[in-house]
Amino acid sequence: MIIQELVNRIPVIEIHGDVNREVAALVFDSRKITENALYIAIRGTVVDGHSFIASAIEKGATTIVCEEFPETLAEEVTYIQVKDSSKALGRLASNFYGNPSQKLKLVGVTGTNGKTSVSTLLFDVFKNLGYDAALLSTVEIRIGDEIIPATHTTPDIITINKILAEAVEKGCEYAFMEVSSHGIAQNRIEGLHFKVAGFTNLTHDHLDYHKTFEEYLKTKKRFFDELEDTAIAITNIDDKNGPVMLQNTKAEKKSYALKTMADYHGRLLEVDFNGMLLNFNGKEFWTTLTGKFNVYNLLLVFGIATELGFEQDEILQAISKLKRVSGRFETFKSDGGIFFIVDYAHTPDALENILDSINDIRTKNERLITVFGCGGDRDHSKRPEMGNIATKKSTLAIITSDNPRTEDPAQIIKEIEAGVEPQNFSKYTSIPDRKEAIKMAIKFAEPKDIVLVAGKGHETYQEINGVKHHFDDKEVINELWKLMSK
C-alpha cells in the first residue's frame, strides 16, 4: 500500500518526502524492522521510540511516523508528523489491512470480571447458531476452528487488525473481543469500529497500573465515550458504575439486570452444581453453567445476540447447548465424593462471587475449603480484602502462592493475612507451596466436601522470578487425588 492511501482520514501535521512510496509492513518495535517498513515512533512510559528512528532507517525502514521530526532528515525516507503516534498507529493499522472491523460486526466486552467468559460464550453461541466468528480473548484467539495462542489481554492494534482481516478473508461475519483497561489506556483499540459494546461490572482491580479507582473507571468509560452513533452500548444497571458508562456515549443505549427493570431482565429460578433454570425476558431455559455471576454473563450474551438481530428463542436454544469456559467454575467430582471447583477468581469481587455462588448451592452439611493466593507485582491493596472474604465465607481457607513473579511469596501471604478478622483466625492456614496447599485441602476434605482452588483457572503455569514453570491446578488436583487415594 502506498503512503497516500495509508494516511487517508488520519490527521497529519506535515509530510516530508515521497507520498507514493510503497509500505511493506507496519512496525512500532525498531528491533523488528523489515525492508520498506513504516516505523511508528511511540512515546512509552519507559522508552521513547523517537530515540530509535535512526536505527530503524539503518535496518530498512523507508517511512517514519513521529510526533517530532529528527534534526537531520534522510533524503530516501518519507517522514510523517502526527500529534499522537499511538493513536495514529490504530488508524494506520486499520487502513493497512483494509479496515476489517468495518466489514465485520465487531463486539467488544469490557469490565473487571466476566470479559473472557462473555466473549468466549458469544463465540460459542454463534457457533451453535451456525456462524463462523473470530474470538480475541485472554485465553485464546480463534478464527473459526483455528486456534492462535493469546499473549496479552488485548493484543497490539496491528495484530488485532491482522486477525480481523484474516477473519474477513475466511468468511467470518462476527468478531468478539475482550477489551481490557490496559488496551483502552494504551490505544490498542484505536481505529476499530465496534457494532456492540458490552459492560459487565467494575470492581477493585489493576490499581497498580491505573493508581486510583477513578482513573480505572474513567479508562473503561472512554471505550463507550468513543463509540460511533451507529454502535449499540449495553450495560449492567445492577452495577452502580453501569449507568456511568453510558453518560456521554453517542451509541444507542441498552441495559440488562436481575434486580431492576431493564431491556434484558433475568431471573434465577433454580440452581445446583449441575446447572441453572433461568428466565430471560419471560422465557424459561436450562443451562449447565452455574453461579449467579454466570446469570449476568449469559444475560449479556442474550442481549448482545438479540441486538445483532437474532430471534430470542433461537438464542436461548444455542445458550442451552453451551459448555463451561475453561477455568471458570469448572467442576469435577472425585471417586471419593469430594467436589472440586477450579476458578480464575483473582480479584476480591470475583472471589466473593464464586464463594457466594457455592454457598447458595451447598446445603451447609458440606464444608467449603478454599485454596487461593494473590499475584506478585500487582495491586497490593486487594490482598487483605481477599484474605477477609475467603476466611469469612469458607469453612477453611488455605492461603498460598499464585504467580509471585518477582515478589517474595511469604510477604504476599503476610499482606493477605492482614485482612483476616480476629473471629476468623482459626479458619485459615498458610502454605506458600501451591501444590502442598492443594494437597492439604485434599487431606482435610471428606466425602461431599467442596474444595475451591481459585486464582489461576485456565493458566497452565506459575511465574516465579520471571520464569514460567508448568503448573495446572486441574492436573495437580487429579495427580494428588490419585496418589493420596491409593
| 8 annotated ligand binder | no
CB 164 within 8 A of CB 101: yes
236 marked as part of a ligand binding site: no
Q: Say whether 402 counts as a known binding-site residue.
A: yes
The answer to the question of whether 191 is labelled as a binding residue is no
Specify burial of residue 242 (Cβ count, 10 A radius: 0-12, 13-18, 19+).
buried
- 43 annotated to bind ligand: no
Contact 112, 213 (CB under 8 A): no
Asked whether residue 404 is marked as a ligand-binding residue, the answer is: yes
Work out the widest C-alpha separation in the chain, in whole angstroms.
80
Is 113 annotated to bind ligand?
yes
> 410: buried, middle or exposed (CB in 10 Å: 19+, 13-18, 0-12)?
exposed
What are the CA-CA distances from residue 334 to residues 273, 326, 353 (Å)? Answer: 14, 19, 24
Q: State how far the Cα of 81 lies from the Cα of 73, in Å rounded to an integer.
A: 12
Cα 412 to Cα 400: distance, rounded to the nearest angstrom: 9
Q: How many CB atoms within 10 Å of residue 15?
A: 17
- How far is residue 484's CA from residue 486's CA, in Å, rounded to a whole number? 6
- Is 343 labelled a binding residue? no
Residue 111 assigned as binding residue:
yes
Establish whether 394 is an annotated binding residue: no
> Is residue 405 annotated as involved in ligand binding?
yes
Degrees to nearest 5, angle at CA 485 with 355 and 431: 50
Distance CA 347, CA 353 (A): 10
Is 85 assigned to a binding site? no
**The cell 467488544 sits on which residue?**
108
Q: At what angle do helices 473-484 and 434-444 cross, to 10 degrees?
A: 50
Is 116 annotated in a binding site? The answer is yes
35 annotated to bind ligand:
no
400 is in an annotated binding site: no
Q: Is 11 marked as a binding-site residue?
A: no
Question: Cell numbers 428463542 label which residue?
Answer: 313
Contact 83, 67 (CB under 8 A): yes
Q: Is the dihedral of CA 77, 81, 86, 88 positive or negative?
A: negative
Cα 471 to Cα 135: distance, rounded to the nearest angstrom: 25
180 labelled as ligand-binding?
yes
The answer to whether the CB of 409 falls within 8 A of the CB of 432 is yes
CB 213 within 8 A of CB 207: yes
70 known member of a binding site: no
Please check if 309 is assigned to a binding site: no
45 annotated ligand-binding residue = no
| DSSP for residue 267 | E
Contact 37, 60 (CB under 8 A): yes
Summarize the annotated binding site for ATP as residue ranges: 111-117
Summarize the annotated binding site for meso-2,6-diaminopimelate as residue ranges: 378, 402-405, 455, 459
Summarize the annotated binding site as residue ranges: 30, 111-117, 153-154, 180, 186, 188, 378, 402-405, 455, 459
